Amino acid sequence: MTLQQLKYVIEVAKSRSINKAAQRLFISQPSLSNALKELEEEVGITIFLRSNKGIVITPEGSEFLGYARQVVEQAELLENRYTNTSSPQQFFSVSAQHYAFAVSAFVRLLKDYDIEEYEFSLRETKTYEIIDDVKNLRSEIGILYVNEFNKKVIHKFLGEGNLQFHELFTANPHVFISSTNPLSTMEYVTLSDLDPYPYLSYEQGDYSSFYFSEEILSTLSRPKNIRVTDRATLFNLLIGLNGYTISTGVISHKLNSKDIIAVPLKVDEKIHVGYITHKNVANSTLANTYIQYLKESIAEELL
């Protein structure tokens, strides 16, 4: 087993395609396929399942990748410490529901982490895709919430993907509304107070089950409904149409204007927000730093 083979495995997992990985590694596809086959025969496990649609990482492969990433990362640290070569490009990816504190932490990571080359990804995406991204190692960290309604289903999917949920904070539900909305001066609002206003929620695509909704109380019937795919559109509609959405109440005024405010929603619910990781993959240095910035951003925005 060589360090080069480990780098090959990591690149294939990241590219989700042997052909694309070969192009990025500047080697031929047959050479890469042979190197992977030799490695699998040596370690006695199947790391990737091949199909016409690409590759799938096996459970044994996920565990192997966790160790491979640690070895490669340590080798790069050693090389940087004792040679004059330039720092290698760093890779890091996060998949999240639409939370401003996730963006704040990502901005802080990029500003404070002193690296010359990097390829980072922040995917504000659908709930199922967050779970799938971390399960298949497209992202190291996934950020989502659970509550009494969805926790059995969410934890079932997490268990099947060998994933673990780490709670960051518990929130009381709030509504995000425009600062000019007639409800903006109220100490709290009730569900009946919201009936005249359009309800905004995030589209969940093929997995539109109530259990995957990014908003709590998703089973309630509402007279006016608008589905969106991104946070900027949702905020524009909150202002332009006097709409509302339900969230944690944690909002970053550094990243978002003060035109959006949070008002407590009087319901008997709790929102448990956290991040998910793969049980068989040790956190990278970047992941641990990002998690720390997540906690700091949340603490600041909860003030």
Written as one string, the DSSP assignment of the chain is --HHHHHHHHHHHHHT-HHHHHHHHTS-HHHHHHHHHHHHHHHTS--EEEETTEEEE-HHHHHHHHHHHHHHHHHHHHHHHHS-PPPPPEEEEEEESS-HHHHHHHHHHHHHS--S-EEEEEEE--HHHHHHHHHTTS-SEEEEEE-TTTHHHHHHHHHHTTEEEEEEEEE--EEEEETTSGGGGSS-B-HHHHTTS-EEEE--TT---GGG-SSSSTTS--SSEEEESSHHHHHHHHHHS--BEEE-S---TTTS-TTEEEEEB-SS--EEEEEEEETTSPPPHHHHHHHHHHHHHHHHHT-
Report the distance separating Cα 15 and Cα 24, nearest Å.
9
Q: What end-to-end distance do the CA atoms of the chain give, in Å? A: 51
pLDDT band at 256 (very low <50, low <70, confident <90, very high): low
Confidence tier at 53 by pLDDT (50, 70, 90)? confident
> Residue 138: what pLDDT?
86
Angle of the 59-82 helix axis to the 3-15 helix axis, nearest 10: 120
Greater confidence (115 vs 263) lies with 263
Q: Strand 90-96 relative to strand 118-124: parallel, antiparallel, unpaired?
A: parallel
Strand 271-278 and strand 141-146: pairing? antiparallel
Q: How far is it, in rounded angstroms, from Cα 57 to Cα 12?
A: 10
Provide, rounded to the nearest whole percent, the portion of the chain with pLDDT above 90: 54
Give the confidence band of 303 by pLDDT, cuts at 50, 70, 90. Answer: low
Q: What is the pLDDT of residues 83-139, one digit of tens each?
A: 655 555 678 899 999 999 999 999 999 888 766 777 889 999 999 999 999 988 889
pLDDT at 209: 79
The length of the chain is: 303
Interatomic CA distance for residues 68 and 167, integer angstroms: 27
Q: What is the reported pLDDT for 119?
A: 82
Average pLDDT of the residues in 239-253: 89
**Chain-wide mean pLDDT for the chain?**
88
pLDDT tens, position by position, 134-178: 988 889 999 999 999 999 999 999 999 999 999 999 999 999 999
Question: Which tokens sit at 12?
Answer: 């294939």
Residue 253 banded pLDDT, cuts 50, 70, 90: low
pLDDT confidence bin for 194, thresholds 50/70/90: very high
CA distance 165 to 147: 12
Tell me: the pLDDT tens digits for 8-47? 999 898 888 888 889 988 899 889 989 999 999 999 999 9
